[in-house]
Amino acid sequence: MTTRVFTSPLFLGFDHLEQMLERAAKTSSDGYPPYNIEQVSPTALRITLAVAGFTMDDLQITQEDNQLVIRGRQTDDSEGRIFLHRGIAARQFQRAFVMAEGIEVRGAWLDNGLLHIDLARPQPESRVKTIEIRRPLPANAGNGAVVEGSKEG
């Protein structure tokens, strides 16, 4: 059952945010692979996943809309081998992160079994904007259209 969060008329245009929240809720609750998210500067983030045993060819990173998706697929190389104990299995995974608007992926690298992905977010701009109030056309002029550029004063 989906709960509609932004049904109030005070939340105009938030349907995209609601879709992102639904996507985040659907992502795997599996804890594999473990990961860290750290803030490396005021405008930069780094996601680090523990992917021991994976090579660069086994990993794929894609950006799908505002979602960063990391997939790992190892080939099963156990043919012809006899295991007395198998605690390290060739395991597939998919880990998705929902990113805010404007976040950019700057790069990724694999080092000692850790996959690092650098992200950058732009500096926030001032969101204060003054809206000019215009005078309506006189009632005999028509449909209540607004006169362009007219100001009282």
Q: What is the pLDDT of residues 31-63, one digit of tens each?
A: 889 999 999 999 999 999 999 889 999 999 999
Residue type, 67: Q
Cβ–Cβ < 8 Å for 117, 110 = no
pTM (2 d.p.): 0.65
CA–CA distance, 116 with 36 (Å, rounded to integer): 9
Low-confidence ranges of the chain (pLDDT < 70): 1-6, 9, 11, 14, 16-17, 19-30, 89, 141-153
Angle at 19 between CA 17 and CA 22, to 5 degrees: 110
Token code pair at residue 30:
């599996």
Token pair of 72, please?
């790992």
CATH class belonging to 32-123: mainly beta
What pLDDT score was predicted for residue 152?
A: 47
Q: Comparing C-alpha atoms, which of 119, 116, 146 is closest to residue 132? A: 146
Question: Count of CB atoms within 10 A of residue 130's CB?
Answer: 5
pLDDT of residue 70: 96
Enumerate the domain spans of the chain.
32-123
